[in-house]
A and B are shown apart, each in its own frame.
Chain A
Amino acid sequence: MKETRLAIKILKTLTKDRLQYPGRLMVDTLTVISRCGILLLLYWYVYNLKGGLINGTSFVFVAWSIFFYFSFSTLRLRDIARQIMVDIQSGNVEVLFSKPVSYLSYRAWWQIGLGLYSFLVITAVAGLGLYLLIGLPFTMTLSLFLPTLILTFLFAGALSLLIYIAVGLLAFWIEDVNPVFWIVDKAIMILGGSYLPVALFPPLMYKMALYSPFGASQFVTHTVNESWASNWYQLIGIQIFWIIIISIVVYFMFEQAKKKVSVNGG
């Protein structure tokens, strides 16, 4: 109950904060335009050049898959790694450890709160725009699409947070986690279907995307594929598997990390 109250309070406060600073929404919008918008225009041109089909996939599938990737990225869950690193380097972690709330859940809700407003606004506006421009693939009109999208989205969020929390906690042992962050982030970018949608992956890369935690954290991009109707439960199963494994890893890392902290007061 206390946890839920804390989560709601954080989300409310940060959403109000975001409403006060429209500049941050502008950054997120420009990022989505510069990455997703330009990329979609390039794919549109390439598809026109190739007669409308590449690897048996049409533009509408690829466009929505890329859109889901970039829409999900506006939540900025990955920033939690750097936030944890800053807490550790600045000593702020000592203060937060002494509070009667779980540090990791506080940081996780904080991160969700920071990106929630931009995510909702950009997803709604850009999604509507994309729908008006290119329409929907038939896979998005199936009855199972929306419930499974929500389910895989929630698991993707949880898995992303856990992966980046693990990266952030490394700051207890190494001076600078940025290099590890870049490598993990790029693994997610490649296997998540950012610039190259999963529908265009070569077979080996597709398998890597399917069975690695990096690919699993972005399964929202698979929801538009034709194969989703038949293998969604398998993919969600993979997400749950990785959530359990990485939760255990994070738990043990955090327990070890706590032993390295000395709260001196002042």
Chain B
Amino acid sequence: MKKELYFALYAIKKNIQSSAELRTSFLMNVVGMAINNTAFIILWVFFVKSVGVIGGWTAADIIGLMGFSTISYGIVFSVAGGIRRISEYTLSGVFDHFMLSPKNLLLRVATSYFGASVIGDFIFGLACLIIYAILIQASLFQIALIILMILATSLVFLAVTIMIYSLSFFFTEAENVTRGLFEFFLTPSLFHGGAFQGVMRFVFTFIVPSLLLGAIPVEAVRDVSLSKIILTIALGLIWFVLSLKLFNYAVKRYESSNFMTFGS
């Protein structure tokens, strides 16, 4: 286990070093992504200005929401960016390489890719959460809760991403299917959390856990709600166990392929 983790850290380090080689492109990606994310804050802050406070959510909560969503995205895809390429790997036969590796399969696949823009997501998320903590005048306990919730949201994000991309082994046109499902999971996490009430809140918490990425952690920190903290962590763990089970089951369906052909 220790060896596997060393290997993962080594792979991540090399991925980042390789990406940073193209310095201008690397920096442009980081800054560009941070500006890109600001758009959502602008939109929802104007929404709050036009519509008023909904479900107790203010402009500060929107900043917190964006903070949790983007930082978990940044963390997960910094260390496990390869998961999003599983469908591409299975389609092209590249997955064979990973299966032949003596390392842990999921770890090997997860650390196989890194995109510079996720650093922009991470920095943006961190900045948002610092601003959020200042705006709500967070106590030390709330700051500790923010750190705990970052870990919990990252766990949820990682688990659901593994789950979605494990479906690559079940479909011929997996890239499109997984892209659509990932979009379906991610997009609501960037929406105004206060507007999700009743059935919508239930669906996007327990069935498609998008609200666990931002809306519920924000409310957990703001209201210091023990039930919401436990809910996020518990659901994160459940999703993670399920995702590992699904991945291991799905891999058994993989049929090795290569590009060697008969004839010319």
Chain A residues packing against B (C-beta within 8 Å): 21, 23-24, 26-31, 33-35, 38-39, 41-43, 45-46, 49-50, 54-55, 174-176, 178-180, 182-183, 185-187, 189-190, 194-196, 200-202, 205
Contacts and interface: CB of A to CB of B under 8 A. Distances in A.
B32 A182 contact: yes
22 contacts: A23-B172, A23-B176, A26-B176, A27-B183, A30-B183, A35-B187, A38-B187, A39-B191, A45-B195, A45-B197, A45-B198, A49-B54, A50-B52, A174-B24, A178-B29, A178-B32, A178-B117, A179-B35, A195-B40, A195-B43, A196-B46, A202-B49
Highest count of chain A CB atoms <10 Å: which of B35, B181, B187, B192: B187
B35 A183 contact: yes
Interface of B: 22, 24-25, 28-29, 31-33, 35-36, 38-40, 42-44, 46-47, 49-52, 54, 117, 171-173, 176-177, 179-181, 183-184, 187-188, 191-192, 195-198, 200
A46 B196 contact: no
B188 A196 contact: no
Contacts of B38: 186
Contact of A38 (B43, B44, B188): B188
A34 B36 contact: no
Contacts of A23: 171-173, 176-177
Contacts of A180: 32
Contacts of A30: 180-181, 183-184
B28 A176 contact: yes
B39 A190 contact: yes
Contacts, number: 119
Contact of A42 (B22, B50, B191): B191
A190 B31 CA distance: 19
A50 B176 contact: no
Contacts of B183: 27, 30-31, 34-35
Per DSSP, are chain B's interface residues mostly helix, strand or loop, or mixed? helix
Per DSSP, are chain A's interface residues mostly helix, strand or loop, or mixed? helix
Top 4 closest A-B pairs, CB basis?
A179-B32, A23-B173, A186-B39, A30-B180
Contacts of B39: 186-187, 189-190
Contacts of A189: 39, 43
A123 to B, nearest CB: 18
Nearest to A25: B176
A87 to B, nearest CB: 18
Given A35-B187, A176-B29, A27 B46 contact: no
B38 to A, nearest CB: 8
Contacts of B192: 42
Contacts of B42: 190
A27 B180 contact: yes
Given A176-B22, A186-B39, A194-B43, 14 more contacts: A21-B173, A27-B183, A39-B191, A42-B196, A42-B200, A43-B195, A175-B22, A175-B24, A179-B31, A190-B39, A196-B47, A200-B50, A201-B46, A201-B50
Contacts of A55: 50
Contacts of B196: 42
B50 A196 contact: yes
Highest count of chain A CB atoms <10 Å: which of B22, B33, B40, B46: B46
B29 A200 contact: no
Contacts of A31: 180, 183-184, 187
Contacts of A29: 180
B33 A42 contact: no
A126 B25 CA distance: 40
A225 to B, nearest CB: 15
Contact of A54 (B50, B188, B197, B200): B50
B46 A205 contact: yes
A96 B195 CA distance: 49
A164 B49 CA distance: 31
A132 B181 CA distance: 27
Highest count of chain B CB atoms <10 Å: which of A55, A176, A187, A189: A176
